[in-house]
Structure 1
Amino acid sequence: MDVSRAHARPRLLLPVTAAVCAAAIVGGCSAATGDTPPPERSTQAAAPLAANELQDDYRAVIKNVLPSVVQIDAADSLGSGVVYDDKGHIVTNAHVIGQEKAFKVTAATGGQPVTARLVSSYPEQDLAVIKLESLPQGLKPAKFGDSAAVDMGQIVLAMGSPLGLSGSVTQGIVSATGRTVSEGRAGGGTGATIGDMVQTSAAINPGNSGGALVNLDSEVIGIPTLAATDPEMGGGSAPGIGFAIPASMVRTVADQIVKDGKVTDSGRAALNITGRTVLDDDYEPAGVAVVEAPANGAAGRAGLKPGDVITRLGDADITTITSLSEALASHRPGDRVTVVYVRGATTGRAEVTLGEM
């Protein structure tokens, strides 16, 4: 599956006459006996009530969270952001801000644009923090949820500025958790490989990037970042498959940027090599060739050398740079893994204590 910036359920057709007869029988019995309405009526009466309660929940969440969402205008892109604190820090995607240093920020609830400036960008996780030069009235910091509590089936709302439509809201569910997704570089993407992402069926469109994915407790559980694309549809988006960076990673990165002006502890595992994808005799990807392996890096300390071709890391087969990044995304710095590599005509194994990106 490529990633960038349904099947209909079959219906069971019943004879009309059977439905009519069933209704007639129930109605006749009720009218003749004077008994209380059958349970079916109570269920039917409860259905609109439950729908109204859910609708009220949606409205409450939108009212609570929308003042924490902004639209970000950069020179060559438009996206969304989330108010991180009461000092004017806004967290968003690195690909939204690109190479720009200054931006126009508009509250999702309306008002005049305010200038903001870049604090720091961390493309490796596709996150960035900017800071407002003045604080518009009505903006409030978002409440971030517990990533460990996010589970499949939870109802979520995505808030942002899809296609420039500021303050837009879509709804869906958490479709899966723990996804590792590689972002392309086309269209301004950072090329990052990001682990532990939240998959959602809530519509994620251009302009939603950097906004808020929230639960019904009005908590931000993720930053919408990517939508899947289907190569068979000419690279068009695959409806209902979007991905958000989990709140835990957002806080980890944003806290460091706010405090230190940069990311000082990525928490991401690395081999500390420079590598490139190599092809076999059939021109198929066959591994990652080590171009550079500094002696003080994780791979260098384990004995890997330039020219070695890595074919496996832990339980994952390695065929491309992307597959290596995805394998590393499931590990932490300090983890010890077995790396299988080819050196000349021989296959070797090295026990590597992973470093940090």
Structure 2
Amino acid sequence: MGLFDDDFYSTKVSRRTRAFSKERRILSSKQTRRNWSSVRIAFISSSTSAIAAVLLFGLFFNGGVGGSAKVQAVSTAKMSDDSESLEMKTIQASAKVRPAVVSVINEQQQVFSMGVPNEEGEGSESKESTEKNSLQQAGVGSGFIFKKENGKAYIMTNYHVTVDADALKVTLISGEERAAKIIGEDQISDLAVLEIDDKGIDTIAEIGDSSALQPAEFVIAIGNPLGLGDSLSMGIVSKTRQIVPVSLNQDGNYDWEQEVIQVDASINQGNSGGPLINLDGQVVGINSMKIADIGVEGLGFAIPTNNAMPIVSDLLANGYVPRPYLGVYTMDLAQYFAQQGGSAGGESDSSKDGSDDEAEGAAQLILPEDVRAGVIVLEAVGPAKEAGLVFNDVIVRLDKQAVGSTMELRKYLYSKKHIGDKVEVTFYRDGKLTTAQLSLTDKVEE
């Protein structure tokens, strides 16, 4: 007898136990069949309900999970199509304009001294010398062909690209160089028009409506940055109308304000004068300037075409832009006070600066204590001279408009007056307030 000799642990089963177990299995089998039938019915009912719910959800929401996947697929496809569309528009727009874009080369005379060798043949200790003039490249910019007429092609560019040139050349997209002639320049708007022979030129840039530009609209700048040749840069319109102060005489004193389009497309030296185009391949601006300062990136400006085209029309018709002319060369009174405090500098009503002698004379001004803003006359010519204005007069008002600077004087004349209009000038002379009437004329080259 084993240690665990009982029915529970033993592998031997008695006849009575087997009979009892058989009967219990039969009963369990019947009960299991009854239980399985109930479970099966419940399972089938639940499954049917779930399927019905899924079908109903699908009907209401375009096919349920399958519908969502379909919508997602359609959205992804649309985004892909939009991306391809933007890419194609960029390629097509640039291809439409690029053949009309040129590089503008400003050449200026350079004078070289050539020594005559002495008896020892050493040119460094020459007794005599001769001078030889040679045209050298002084600057490179960009431009674009916007008109063809009577065998000539006309190019729009910036004034600061062509200024002081003794000769101008343009390089076409093919690499061919042609001599260019200046038709007209305007310093105030920073625009110039050139003329070349139109042989072989087939593409003319289309001028667009700059007033239709919107913030965040894609634009492309085309030009010749850093003299590297035909180049593109893309960005968005940051601001459709920005007012930027400029110094016409490049003396650091702001004497005019330029209305421009602000963009974040890269505009570097050499891009000046090139076109800023929209995705329809239309010119909406003339690349003009970039803010170059530490920490400043992606801040470029372009002259709107809607502002440029009236100027260009005047340049084509007259070679210059007719504007009402007062006939005074000036220095701001504020600049005079700064000079008295140890600062130097001056600005004028035109491209002519006041001399040191004139600035020294202006230091003898006699003014009431409360007069701190105005424009000092350094020289009077034309209408101003005829009206009796002289050196050291301080203009403080034109008509009823207060004038505190050369910029304000220009803005009033150019925006409110026309050639032939009369203007009343109020000024101080030797501390006394007086007035003079004069008629504005067109400026004559001096």
TM-score, normalisation: structure 2 = 0.58
CA shift, 1:44, in A, is 4.1
Greater length-normalized contact order (CA 8 Å, ≥ 6 residues apart): 1
Residue in 2 that maps onto 1:64: 96
- Cα distance per residue 1:191-222 (max 9 Å; x no partner): 98354333322221100111101122222122
Does residue 225 of structure 2 align to residue 162 of structure 1? Answer: yes
Residue in 1 that maps onto 2:5: none
Deviates more, 1:91-100 or 1:275-284: 275-284
The amino acid of 2:303's aligned partner reads: I
> Using the alignment, how far apart are the partners of 1:185 and 1:294 within structure 2?
19
- 1:211-222 matches, within 5 Å, as 211-222=274-285
Deviates more, 1:140-149 or 1:329-338: 329-338
CA contact (8 A) 2:168 2:180 kept: yes
**Higher Rg:** 2
Residue in 2 that maps onto 1:118: 182
- Between the aligned residues of both structures, percent identity stands at 29
> Using the alignment, how far apart are the partners of 2:290 and 2:169 within structure 1?
25
Residue in 1 that maps onto 2:256: 193
Change (3 A) 1:129 1:239: same
Residue in 2 that maps onto 1:254: 312
Does residue 380 of structure 2 align to residue 290 of structure 1? Answer: no
Greater share of helix residues, 1 or 2? 2
> Using the alignment, how far apart are the partners of 1:242 and 1:336 within structure 2?
39
Residue in 2 that maps onto 1:307: 392
CA shift, 1:59, in A, is 1.0
- Cα distance per residue 1:134-188 (max 9 Å; x no partner): 53x354221112344344443321111011122211122332326254145559x
Change (3 A) 1:343 1:164: same
The amino acid of 1:214's aligned partner reads: I
CA contact (8 A) 2:187 2:248 kept: no
Does residue 288 of structure 2 align to residue 225 of structure 1? Answer: yes
Residue in 1 that maps onto 2:297: 239
Does residue 263 of structure 2 align to residue 205 of structure 1? Answer: no
* Corresponding pairs, count: 313
Equivalent residue in structure 2 for 1:107, among 172, 186, 190: 172
Residue in 1 that maps onto 2:140: 78
Residue in 1 that maps onto 2:241: 177
The amino acid of 1:123's aligned partner reads: Q
- Cα distance per residue 1:210-246 (max 9 Å; x no partner): 110112222212211111233xx3xx8x322222223
Find the residue that maps to 1:85 and give its secondary structure.
strand
Does residue 194 of structure 2 align to residue 130 of structure 1? Answer: yes
Find the residue that maps to 1:84 and give its secondary structure.
strand
Find the residue that maps to 1:37 and give its secondary structure.
helix
Residue in 1 that maps onto 2:129: none
Find the residue that maps to 2:292 and give its secondary structure.
strand
The amino acid of 1:98's aligned partner reads: V
CA contact (8 A) 2:213 2:240 kept: no
Residue in 2 that maps onto 1:13: none
> Using the alignment, how far apart are the partners of 1:107 and 1:312 within structure 2?
50
> Using the alignment, how far apart are the partners of 2:170 and 2:437 within structure 1?
49
CA contact (8 A) 1:114 1:134 kept: no
Residue in 2 that maps onto 1:17: none
CA contact (8 A) 1:117 1:133 kept: no
CA shift, 1:66, in A, is 0.7
Residue in 2 that maps onto 1:4: none
- 1:144-155 matches, within 5 Å, as 144-155=207-218
CA contact (8 A) 1:79 1:207 kept: yes
> Using the alignment, how far apart are the partners of 2:242 and 2:441 within structure 1?
22
| Unaligned runs of at least 5 residues, structure 1 | 1-28
Find the residue that maps to 1:221 and give its secondary structure.
strand
CA contact (8 A) 1:173 1:200 kept: yes
Does residue 338 of structure 2 align to residue 274 of structure 1? Answer: no
